[in-house]
Amino acid sequence: MPYLFTSESVSEGHPDKVADQISDALIDNFLAYDLNSKVACETLVTTGQVVLAGEVKSEAYLDVQDIAREVIRKIGYTKSEYMFEANSCGIFSAIHEQSPDINQGVDRSKPEEQGAGDQGMMFGYATRETENYMPLALDLAHKLLIELANLRREGKEIGYLRPDAKSQVTIEYSDDNQPIRIDTIVISTQHDDFAKDQEMLDKIKADMINILIPRVKAKLKPELQALFNDKITYHINPTGKFVIGGPHGDTGLTGRKIIVDTYGGKGAHGGGAFSGKDPSKVDRSAAYATRHIAKNLVAAGVCDEVLVQVSYAIGVAKPCGVFVDTYGTAKVGLNDGEIARKVEEIFDLRPYAIEQRLKLRSPIYGETAAYGHMGRDNQVVTKVFNKGKKTEKQVEVELFTWEKLDYVEKVKSAFGI
C-alpha cells in the first residue's frame, strides 16, 4: 500500500540556525589560527541578545563579538525593525578554558592513539533515491529554502522577504519504495508588514506557488520535475502573517536542528549535535565518517540503501562497535554483520584517522551550519578571516570531504564487485 513520508528544513535565518552558524564561525576562526584548537561552544540568540558559552583550548585569540556580528550581518539581520540586528545586538561571552579532565582523554603522545572526545553512537545514511544519495523529501525541503534565500537577496521578484523561514515536503511512495508524487508542501516565511492581513497572505501564497516553486523545479532533473503535480496541497504561512520572527520571535540555540542537519528523519540519529564542536568530538567527526562510508557503499553497488552506526567510549581510540543495516537491499551475498566486518577492514574509524582522512582539522564548518551537513557539494575554496585587519589570513580548504566517492574502488575490490 502506498505511504507518505515527510521531512522539514529551516532557513539560515531561523533562530536555531543563527546560533549554529555563530558557533561554527567560532570553530572556523579558532582552527584558522590554531589547527590544534579544541572547542565546544554553544550560542543562544534572543531579542537583541547573543550569549556565547563553552570551553576552548587554543593558542588563538579571537574577537568573538566581531565574529558573531559578521555572521548575523551575512544572514541578513541588518534592520532595526527585526528587533535583532547585527550592529546593535548585545553580545555576552562566557567562553572559558577546556576542562583538563576532558582533554586528558583526547590528547596522546602518539597522535594516532587520540581518544574519542566523548562517548556515544553516530549514524551515517545513504540511498539511491537522489543523485547526492540523500532522502528526497529532505533534499527538496533544503532546495526550497536555498532558493527562497536567493530570492530574498536578489530582492527583485519578491521584495518583502525576511530571513526566517521553514519548509516541509511530504512525498507519496509506492509499495516498492519509489517516489510517486509530492503530496504536500509547507512553507512558512517571515515577511515585511506590507498590506492588510488577507491581502498579504494571498500575495505570499501566490508568489510561493508561481515564483518559488517553478524556480526550484527548473533546477531539477525531469524525473523529479514529474513529481510536481496539480494536486499538491500547499500550506503557505498557515498560521497567518509572519512578521515577527528570527531570534525576536523565538529563542535560538545551537544544536536543536539535528534532524534537519542530517537525513530528515530517514535512517537514524545518535543524538549529538554537530555545530560548535571541533573534530576531536566524535559526535561530529564520526557522523561525517559514517556518511562517507554509507555513500561509498551505495555508490559501489553493495546495496541500494544503508545505515551505518559506530560507537565510542570517551578517551578510547578503537570504536566499541560498527553496525550496518542495508534494509534488505544488499547485492553482495553477505549478511549485514559480514558487511559491517568488511567496513571495519576498509575504513579506519579511530578519531585521528577520521580527522586525517576527511581533512577535518581545517576551518570548513561555517558552510555546514545551514541547509544540512550531508548531501552537499565537495569543493575547494579560499576562505578569508579578519578581512581588512592586520591579522587577515587566507586559507585554502576542501569542503564536505565526506561527500567524496573516493573509496568506491576500494569497496568494490573488498566486496568483489
- Residues within the annotated binding site for ATP? 14, 164-166, 241-242, 250, 256-257, 273, 277
Class of 15-106 in CATH: alpha beta
Check: CB of residue 146 under 8 Å from CB of residue 11: no
Q: What is the pLDDT of residue 114?
A: 82
Give the C-alpha separation, 21 to 7, whole Å. 21
Query: What angle, 0 to 180 degrees and rounded to 10, lies between the N-to-C axes of helices 15-33 and 64-75?
Result: 130
What are the backbone dihedrals phi and psi of residue 306, each rounded to the nearest 5 degrees, phi first?
-155, 145
Q: Which CATH architecture has domain 120-127+262-415?
A: 2-Layer Sandwich (3.30)
Beta bridge partners of 307: 125, 325
The stretch 284-313 carries a mean pLDDT of 98
Give the C-alpha separation, 41 to 76, whole Å. 23
Check: CB of residue 24 under 8 Å from CB of residue 39: no
Q: What percent of the chain has pLDDT over 90?
A: 92
Give the C-alpha separation, 17 to 128, whole Å. 28
Q: What percent of the chain has pLDDT over 70?
A: 96
SS3 assignment for 156-191:
CCCCCEEEEEEEEEEEEECCCCCEEEEEEEEEEEEE
Which of these, 124, 123, 120, 114, lies nearest to 350 by C-alpha position?
114
What per-residue string of b and e applies to 30-58 under the rule 16 or more CB within 10 Å gives b? bbbbbeebbbbbbbbbbeeebbbbbbbbb
- Residues within the annotated binding site for Mg(2+)? 16
Give the Å distances, CA to CA, from 157 to 87, 121, 194, 215. Answer: 28, 45, 15, 11
pLDDT digits (tens, 9 = 90+) for 307-335: 999 999 998 999 999 999 999 999 999 99
At 195, the pLDDT band (50, 70, 90 cuts) reads: very high
Give the Å distances, CA to CA, from 248 to 77, 160, 195. Answer: 11, 18, 21
Task: Give me the residue spans of the domains in the chain.
Answer: 3-10+136-247, 15-106, 120-127+262-415
- Residues within the annotated binding site for K(+)? 42
**Is the predicted pLDDT of residue 265 greater than 70, yes or no?**
yes
- CA 388 from centre of chain: 29
The rounded mean pLDDT for the chain is 95
Q: What is the pLDDT of residue 13?
A: 98
At 340, the pLDDT band (50, 70, 90 cuts) reads: very high
Q: What is the pLDDT of residue 105?
A: 52
- Residues within the annotated binding site for L-methionine? 55, 98, 250, 281
Sign of CA dihedral 370, 306, 287, 15: positive
Q: What is the pLDDT of residue 106?
A: 60
More confident residue, 152 or 106: 152
Give the Å distances, CA to CA, from 383 to 8, 275, 317, 328. Answer: 30, 18, 31, 43
Class of 3-10+136-247 in CATH: alpha beta
- Residues within the annotated binding site? 14, 16, 42, 55, 98, 164-166, 241-242, 250, 256-257, 273, 277, 281
At 1, the pLDDT band (50, 70, 90 cuts) reads: confident
Q: What is the pLDDT of residue 271?
A: 82
- Same fold yes or no, 15-106 and 120-127+262-415: yes
Q: What is the pLDDT of residue 99?
A: 61
**Four-point Cα dihedral 295, 406, 220, 123, nearest 10:** 20
Q: What is the pLDDT of residue 118?
A: 83
Give the C-alpha separation, 250 to 37, whole Å. 32
Give the Å distances, CA to CA, from 330 to 178, 290, 321, 326, 337. Answer: 17, 17, 20, 6, 12
**Is the predicted pLDDT of residue 218 greater than 70, yes or no?**
yes
The stretch 174-181 carries a mean pLDDT of 94
pLDDT digits (tens, 9 = 90+) for 87-134: 999 999 999 886 655 555 565 556 767 878 788 999 999 999 999 999
The stretch 356-384 carries a mean pLDDT of 98
Q: What is the pLDDT of residue 102?
A: 52
Q: What pTM was estimated for this model as a whole?
A: 0.96
